[in-house]
């Protein structure tokens, strides 16, 4: 009669099903001669696998990480076997597999968090915001691979050190489409998104502590750029022979005189134009970013642009108010336009929105409350970011003040009587 169970674990790869020379690692559990294979959901290079040692050969960071993982999983499987034996439970490959995966269900990883967040939160987020989360998640993946030589990271392993290392990693990143390293605010935004996802995990009780408790992210408030009246005139009047540049210039100028953002401009149709209570042409739309409704009477220069594209073949086909061009191409072409116009500022499409708020509206006496409504802001404090103090406006206001002071002095002046 057998009183002692035999237990063993063998790691092997299914090389016949390898794709791109990568094969899945399996663990074969054997108890009293009964066998069961379970996938560890990790892949290795077939040429690096040593079947005798049941490990990956080589001294690379990836090889070490995979071998550490296999050591860890071997210990976990043996622990499951020991627990079942102590508890006097049925010992079988199936019971060990059940215990093994049952324990692993509580070890949520960052990939589990990304999947849950994207499936449950993206429906509540705007497309651009969702896209930014994807970018942040990819940076986190690259950081984990570079710093730890791994493809995933358990949430329970997150600590203050992880956050600091991730921040340092981001500061050294140079995106393909950008000539410089990530700036401070961009780094903080990626960390803020990570923090929001980790907070979600905390609320789901996937982790019992917040690794961000000691981390205090802060954004640097920068002055928003805008075009002066002279610079705006240069762009309006510059001769552009290339059709694509002319179309982008028209989109930019339309935004300069309406404050409509690129995302909102790309979804405008002729149906967004209505005759207002003043019998003039109005634009009525809803902001893609926050859903706020925007209503504004069009200025003459904006109306001229609308008329120019009223019968444009491309616009008619897609029922668009103005031509549709990708954001990347728009900003790229604006650099060419700036060079032709001899404007040294970094010309981006969002600069048009700032220009409307400052040079076109606030500088010409439009109340900030009205500008806030036109821009579709929820809070007046958001509009105040655009309320730049322009030197010419300050000079004009001080000149008016001086005239009023001079007039007051003249009215209050009385000749002094000479006493005899």
Residues 132-149 pLDDT 10s: 999 999 999 999 998 888
pLDDT the model gives residue 223: 63
Q: Is residue 185 a part of any domain in this protein? A: yes
Residues 38-60 pLDDT 10s: 888 888 999 999 999 999 998 88
Q: Give the chain's radius of gyration (CA, Å).
A: 32
Please tell me whether residues 138 and 260 are part of one structural domain. no
Q: Is residue 100 a part of any domain in this protein? A: yes
Please tell me whether residues 68 and 138 are part of one structural domain. no
Please tell me whether residues 70 and 141 are part of one structural domain. no
pLDDT the model gives residue 1: 39
pLDDT the model gives residue 318: 94
pLDDT the model gives residue 224: 67
Please tell me whether residues 161 and 266 are part of one structural domain. no
- State the total domains in the chain: 3
CATH number for 292: 1.10.443.10
Q: Is residue 57 a part of any domain in this protein? A: yes
pLDDT the model gives residue 29: 92
Q: What CA–CA distance (Å, rounded) separates 283 from 278?
A: 13
Please tell me whether residues 100 and 139 are part of one structural domain. no
Beta carbons within 8 Å of 104's beta carbon, 6+ residues apart: 76
Please tell me whether residues 99 and 118 are part of one structural domain. no
Please tell me whether residues 361 and 328 are part of one structural domain. yes
Q: What CA–CA distance (Å, rounded) separates 307 from 78?
A: 76
Q: How far is CA 289 from the centre of its chain?
A: 13
Please tell me whether residues 180 and 47 are part of one structural domain. no
- Ranges of residues in the chain whose predicted pLDDT is under 70: 1-4, 103-107, 176-179, 219-224, 382, 386-393, 413-420
Q: What CA–CA distance (Å, rounded) separates 416 from 151?
A: 91
Please tell me whether residues 267 and 329 are part of one structural domain. yes
Q: Is residue 405 a part of any domain in this protein? A: no
Both tokens of 67, joined, read: 């071998």
Both tokens of 329, joined, read: 């191409």
Please tell me whether residues 244 and 176 are part of one structural domain. no
- Give the residue numbers spanning the domain of 81: 7-104
pTM to 2 decimal places: 0.56
Q: What CA–CA distance (Å, rounded) separates 385 from 372?
A: 11
């Amino acid at each position: 009669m057998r009183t002692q169970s035999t237990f063993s674990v063998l790691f092997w790869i299914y090389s016949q099903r390898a794709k791109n020379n990568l094969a899945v690692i399996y663990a074969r559990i054997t108890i009293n001669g009964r066998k069961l294979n379970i996938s560890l959901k990790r892949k290795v290079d077939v040429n690096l696998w040593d079947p005798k040692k049941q490990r990956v050969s080589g001294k690379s960071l990836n090889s070490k990480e995979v071998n550490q993982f296999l050591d860890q999983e071997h210990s976990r499987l043996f622990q499951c076997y020991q627990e079942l034996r102590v508890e006097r439970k049925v010992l079988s490959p199936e019971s060990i597999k059940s215990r093994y995966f049952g324990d692993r269900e509580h070890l949520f990883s960052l990939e589990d968090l990304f999947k849950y967040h994207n499936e449950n939160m993206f429906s509540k987020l705007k497309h651009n915001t969702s896209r930014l989360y994807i970018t942040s998640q990819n940076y986190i993946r690259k950081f984990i691979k570079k710093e730890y030589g791994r493809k995933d990271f358990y949430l329970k392993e997150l600590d203050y050190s992880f956050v600091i290392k991730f921040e340092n990693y981001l500061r050294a990143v140079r995106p393909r489409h950008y000539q410089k390293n990530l700036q401070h605010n961009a780094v903080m935004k990626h960390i803020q998104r990570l923090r929001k996802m980790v907070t979600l995990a905390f609320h789901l009780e996937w982790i019992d502590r917040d690794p961000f408790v000691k981390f205090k992210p802060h954004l640097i408030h920068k002055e928003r750029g805008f075009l002066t009246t002279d610079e705006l005139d240069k762009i309006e009047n510059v001769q552009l022979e290339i059709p694509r540049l002319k179309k982008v210039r028209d989109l930019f100028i339309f935004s300069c005189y309406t404050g409509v953002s690129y995302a909102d401009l790309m979804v405008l149709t002729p149906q967004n134009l209505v005759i207002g209570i003043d019998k003039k042409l109005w634009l009525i739309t809803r902001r893609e970013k926050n859903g706020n409704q925007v209503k504004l009477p069009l200025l003459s220069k904006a109306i001229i642009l609308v008329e120019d594209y009223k019968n444009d073949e491309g616009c008619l086909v897609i029922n668009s108010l103005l031509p549709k061009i990708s954001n990347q191409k728009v900003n790229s072409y604006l650099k060419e336009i700036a060079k032709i116009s001899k404007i040294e500022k970094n010309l981006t499409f969002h600069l048009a929105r700032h220009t409307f708020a400052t040079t076109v509206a606030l500088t010409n006496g439009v109340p900030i409350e009205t500008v806030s409504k036109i821009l579709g802001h929820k809070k007046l404090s958001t509009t105040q970011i655009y309320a730049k103090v322009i030197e010419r406006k300050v000079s004009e206001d001080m000149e008016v003040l001086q005239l009023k002071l001079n007039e007051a002095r003249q009215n209050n002046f009385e000749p002094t009587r000479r006493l005899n």
